[in-house]
Copies of this chain bind each other. A is one copy, B any other.
């Protein structure tokens, strides 16, 4: 059972993969961080204050890393991939601020969410600000193709979030709908982040497509594991509360599997807790037991591994180099991570 993996050694392996990628891209990432810091400034002090609360609190910076490594793998030797990486992180951050308002989340990256500290109003507006800043940054490399790709990805992300809102508390949600949601809300930005690396490097369409496929599969794997960790993760490693999805009535793949295979009593449990939103303290533990009973988390992790493998395959046609290796390792990490 996937849940039985001992946490500590896995954490070391996981951390090592991301740390190696960070080390490899350290010079570029310094530029990205400097750009992020510079471009989140405003004479309205609440804006950098709120934005830095989230941005400076860490996060794995996976999306900008993907852009940087993809561009370098494609032989890009300029500096504008840093603008694109910062853009991608700004879009992601804007999305997180709005997500936390929509989900009424209280904790992220080990601290109180911005909406909890400054209120929903400020979070909505600073999200808008960062989103605008993303587009300002995006203009600088001078590539209309990049603008087209990232603005399209942003629209798809919103569609995914609305789909998720529609699907919440609806146990009629099947695997197909769930996959459509996570492809849109999560995988679309990973896909765009990877693809623009090829665009800025001036690579041909088939290489753009290969990197887009890599990013999309990586993003799906990443989100599948995210949905597992919401039931199994440790708050100290995740930096957020577990059980958020359960409390919010989100129908993720583990639930879809457990509900499909559940007895009538089990289904009644899911209906009460997720559809009707009637929950008591002990329900989360019961939910975890039911997921275990049907190997719903193990099956979800198997899916994540399958997508991670597909991601590696997607870039197998590129000449081997340290960047391709790092992107492959990142794909493996996305399926095995515990944080």
Query: How distant is the Cα of A128 from the Cα of B157 in the complex, in angstroms?
Result: 9
Copies in the complex: 2
- The reply to whether A151 and B126 form a contact with Cβ atoms under 8 Å apart is no
Between A42, A126, A138, A162, the greatest number of chain B beta carbons within 10 A of the residue's beta carbon is seen for A162
- A139 at interface by CB-CB < 8 Å: yes
Q: In whole Å, how far is A209's beta carbon from the nearest beta carbon of chain B? A: 20
Within 8 A of B (CB), among A78-128: 94-95, 98, 101-102, 120-122, 124-128
- The reply to whether A98 and B120 form a contact with Cβ atoms under 8 Å apart is no
Q: In whole Å, how far is A41's beta carbon from the nearest beta carbon of chain B? A: 11
Query: How distant is the Cα of A95 from the Cα of B136 in the complex, in angstroms?
Result: 17
Query: How distant is the Cα of A95 from the Cα of B161 in the complex, in angstroms?
Result: 18
Instruction: Name the B residues within 8 Å of A98 (CB-CB).
Output: 124-125, 128
- Choose, from A20-28, A141-149, A286-294, A305-313, the stretch at the interface: A141-149
Query: How distant is the Cα of A243 from the Cα of B124 in the complex, in angstroms?
Result: 24
- The reply to whether A101 and B124 form a contact with Cβ atoms under 8 Å apart is yes
Instruction: Name the B residues within 8 Å of A133 (CB-CB).
Output: 155
- The reply to whether B102 and A162 form a contact with Cβ atoms under 8 Å apart is no
Instruction: Name the B residues within 8 Å of A161 (CB-CB).
Output: 125, 128
- A131 at interface by CB-CB < 8 Å: yes
- A163 at interface by CB-CB < 8 Å: yes
Instruction: Name the B residues within 8 Å of A179 (CB-CB).
Output: none
Within 8 A of B (CB), among A136-181: 136, 138-139, 142, 144, 147-148, 151-152, 154-155, 157-159, 161-163, 165-166
Q: In whole Å, how far is A131's beta carbon from the nearest beta carbon of chain B? A: 6
- A4 at interface by CB-CB < 8 Å: no
* Residue count of chain A within 8 Å CB distance of chain B: 42
- The reply to whether A139 and B147 form a contact with Cβ atoms under 8 Å apart is yes
- A199 at interface by CB-CB < 8 Å: no
- The reply to whether B144 and A139 form a contact with Cβ atoms under 8 Å apart is yes
- A295 at interface by CB-CB < 8 Å: no
Query: How distant is the Cα of A46 from the Cα of B158 in the complex, in angstroms?
Result: 12
Instruction: Name the B residues within 8 Å of A47 (CB-CB).
Output: 158-159, 162
Write the chain B residue with the least CB distance to A131.
Answer: B131
- A284 at interface by CB-CB < 8 Å: no
| Given A98-B125, A102-B121, 17 additional A-B pairs, CB 8 A | A42-B162, A47-B159, A95-B128, A101-B124, A120-B120, A125-B158, A125-B162, A127-B128, A128-B154, A128-B158, A129-B155, A132-B151, A135-B135, A135-B151, A138-B151, A139-B147, A144-B144
* 25 residue pairs from A and B, CB less than 8 Å apart: A43-B159, A44-B159, A44-B163, A44-B166, A47-B158, A47-B159, A98-B128, A101-B120, A102-B124, A122-B162, A122-B165, A125-B158, A125-B162, A126-B162, A127-B128, A129-B158, A129-B159, A132-B151, A132-B152, A132-B157, A133-B155, A135-B147, A135-B154, A138-B147, A139-B144
